[in-house]
Amino acid sequence: MSVFLLPSEPIESLDAYLATDVGGSGVRRAHELGPAETIDVVSRSGLRGRGGGGFPTGQKWAGVAAQSGARRYLVCNGAEGEPGTFKDRALLRANPYQLVEGMVIAAFAVGAAEAFICLKASFRREIDAVTRAVQEFQTAGICGDCKVTIVAGPDEYLFGEEKAMLEVIEGNEPLPRWLPPYLHGLFATAPQMGWQSHDVAAGSTNSGGGSNPTLVNNVETLSNIPHILVRGAEWFRSMGTADSPGTIVTTVVGDVVAPDVGEVEMGASLRAVIDAVGSGPVAGRSVKAVFSGVANAVVTARDLDVSVSYEGFEAIGSGMGSAGFIVYDDTTCMVDAAYRFSRFLSIESCGQCPPCKLGSSAITEHLERIETGVGNDGDLDAITGWLGHVTDGSRCFLAAEEQIVITSILRAFPEEFSEHIELGRCPRPRRLPIPKLIDLADGRAVYDDSIWRKQPDWTYAPIERADGDA
C-alpha cells in the first residue's frame, strides 16, 4: 500500500474511521508501548515534519519530552498559509479522524495535558470537520484526559509560523516571539528575556511560571502517526527513500491542466508528479520554473527530474517545503515572478525586525521598477545590497525566504533582468498569479486575489485602488 493518508472516499464519522484497519488502534498501541517506546517508533520510522522544514519528528518529540517544565502542550499547525499549498485542507476534508488520533498519541508521548488545533477562521469547512471529529472522539472517551481546543486564527501568512501561532493561541497578533516553542511554550512566563532569574520548572497552571515546552506539528505530520503506530516503523520505511520515508501529499497548481492535490511516494520525479497530480502543462507549453511555496529556491526546467524528497531538492540547491508546487510555463516573465513573490513576502512581514520589512519592501520597489521598464543597473545593485542584509537580526524564517527566493531567480534568469533594462519594458507581459489558495477541487483552483489589495500594515485598500492588477 503506497497511498494511505487520502482515502478515495471521505471518512465522515467516527464509526466509519473505527471500521478501518487503523482507526483507534494507534492510541491503543501507544498505550501498550508507553511514551518512550512510542517516541522510539516514530523516530525509527524516519518521519519528517511536513510543515516545510522536514525536521525529524521523533527527534522533536524526544526534545520536548526531555525539557524540564511541569506543564507541556501540543499544537497542531493547520494554518496552511503557504501559497501553492492545499494538502492540509484536503486531508481534513478526507479524514479528520486520523489527525485527531495522531494528536492524542503525540500528547500522550510528550506528556501534554492540553492540545490545540489551529486553523484559519476562513477554513469553515475544515473547522466543521475537525470539530465534529474531536467531539466524537471526546464522547467515545478516546481523548482520555487530553483536552483538545480548536483555535480559529487570522488569514495572515505569519499565523503559520510556530512562534507566531503560540501568540495567537494566547489571544495576541501573529507576531513571532524570539524563542522556539520547546524553550518558550504556551502560557509560559519563563524563560524571561530580562536579567531576572526564574525557576523554569515552577509552573503548574496556565498562569503560573515555567517554560511550558510545547510541541508544534503540522496536520500531515500528525495524520501519519496512527498509521505508523499500527503498521510499524519498518512498514513506513518500506515507502519513499532512505532519507525521506513515506508518502507526501503534494499540491500542484499554476500553469497546469488540472490543479489538484495527490498523495505520492517520496522519490517520484517532480516531472512525474506535475503530470500525475496536475495533469501536466497545457498543450503546446513547457514548464519554465517551479516553486515549492514561496520559501525555496526556484527549480528550473533543467532540474525537473529532481526526486520529490528532502535530499533530492537539497541536492539541486532548493528545498521541498510542504510540496506545494507552483508551476509557471514558458509564457512567464521571471522578473514579474520575482516582483510578485517579493511583494507577497514584504506585505506579510510583520516589521518587528526592521531589515526584514525595510529590505523586502525596498527589494519589491526596485523589482517593480525593472518590471515596469523604468529600472536600471542601480536598481539591480540596490536589490543585491539589500539581499545581503534582509535577514539581519531576524526572529523568523520569512526574511530568509525573501533572500533565498529572490537570489535564486536573479541567479537562474539574469538575462531577463538585463532584457527589461535594455528594452525599457517587459517582453512577456501577463498577469501572473501568486496562488494563495481559497479552494481546490475538481481540477479548479480558486486563488485569493485580495492579496493584491493588502497593504504593508495588513489593512486592505479599497477594491478600486488595487495594485498588481496590471
Ligand X SMILES: Cc1cc2nc3c(=O)[nH]c(=O)nc-3n(C[C@H](O)[C@H](O)[C@H](O)COP(=O)(O)O)c2cc1C
Minimum CB distance to ligand SF4 smaller for 60 or for 357: 357
Q: Does 356 bind ligand SF4 (CB under 6 A)?
A: yes
Minimum CB distance to ligand X smaller for 253 or for 421: 253
Q: Does 176 bind ligand SF4 (CB under 6 A)?
A: yes
Query: What is the spatial distance between Cα 466 and Cα 453, in angstroms, rounded to a whole number?
Result: 5
Map the footprint of ligand X across residues 58-87, applying CB under 6 A.
60, 77, 79-82
Q: Does 349 bind ligand SF4 (CB under 6 A)?
A: yes
CB of 301 to ligand X, least distance (A): 28
Residue 53 site contact among ligand X, ligand SF4, none (CB < 5 to 8 Å, cut-off depends on kind): ligand X
Terminal-residue alpha carbon distance, the chain = 47
Q: Does 394 bind ligand SF4 (CB under 6 A)?
A: yes
From candidates 12, 16, 18, 53, binder to ligand X by CB under 6 A: 53
Minimum CB distance to ligand SF4 smaller for 5 or for 404: 404
Query: What is the spatial distance between Cα 137 and Cα 150, in angstroms, rounded to a whole number?
Result: 14
Pick the closest to residue 222 from 16, 93, 50, 71 (CA basis): 50
Helix (H/G/I), strand (E/B), else coil: 198? coil
Judging by beta carbons within 10 Å of its beta carbon (0-12, 13-18, 19+), is residue 132 exposed, middle or buried? middle
Minimum CB distance to ligand SF4 smaller for 396 or for 404: 396
8-state DSSP, 304:
T
From candidates 165, 261, 353, 440, binder to ligand SF4 by CB under 6 A: 353
From candidates 73, 157, 413, 447, binder to ligand X by CB under 6 A: 157
CB of 275 to ligand X, least distance (A): 26
From candidates 248, 350, 406, 421, binder to ligand SF4 by CB under 6 A: 350
Instruction: Please tell me the chain's helix, strand, coil percentages from 3-state DSSP, rounded to the nearest 5.
Output: 40, 15, 45
Stretch that binds ligand X, among 15-23, 214-222, 265-273, 355-363 (CB under 6 A): 214-222
Helix (H/G/I), strand (E/B), else coil: 252? strand
User: Cα separations (Å) of 230 from 27, 38, 80, 305, 363?
Assistant: 9, 11, 27, 34, 50
Stretch that binds ligand SF4, among 210-218, 291-299, 351-359, 450-458 (CB under 6 A): 351-359
Minimum CB distance to ligand X smaller for 159 or for 452: 159
CB atoms within 10 A of CB 161: 26
Q: How many whole angstroms from its chain centre is CA 356?
A: 20
Cβ-based neighbours of 261, under 8 Å, separated by 6 or more: 6, 86, 87, 90, 249, 250, 251, 252, 277, 440
- Whats the size of the chain, residue-wise? 470
Pick the closest to residue 84 from 256, 267, 336 (CA basis): 256
Residues linked to residue 440 through DSSP beta bridges, in sequence order: 445
Residue 217 site contact among ligand SF4, ligand X, none (CB < 5 to 8 Å, cut-off depends on kind): ligand X
Query: What is the spatial distance between Cα 418 and Cα 228, in angstroms, rounded to a whole number?
Result: 52
Is the distance from CB of 49 to CB of 134 less than 8 angstroms? no
User: What is the pattern of x (binds ligand SF4, CB under 6 A) and - over residues 397-436?
Assistant: -xx-------------------------------------
Query: What is the spatial distance between Cα 151 and Cα 172, in angstroms, rounded to a whole number?
Result: 12
From candidates 29, 395, 436, 454, binder to ligand SF4 by CB under 6 A: 395
Q: Does 120 bind ligand SF4 (CB under 6 A)?
A: no
Query: What is the spatial distance between Cα 322 and Cα 304, in angstroms, rounded to a whole number?
Result: 17
User: What is the pattern of x (binds ligand SF4, CB under 6 A) and - over residues 136-175?
Assistant: ----------------------x-----------------
Stretch that binds ligand SF4, among 2-10, 11-19, 392-400, 442-450 (CB under 6 A): 392-400
Q: Which residues make up the interface to ligand X (CB under 6 A)?
A: 49-53, 55, 60, 77, 79-82, 157-158, 160-162, 216-218, 221, 396-398
Q: Which residues make up the interface to ligand SF4 (CB under 6 A)?
A: 158, 176, 349-353, 356-357, 394-396, 398-399
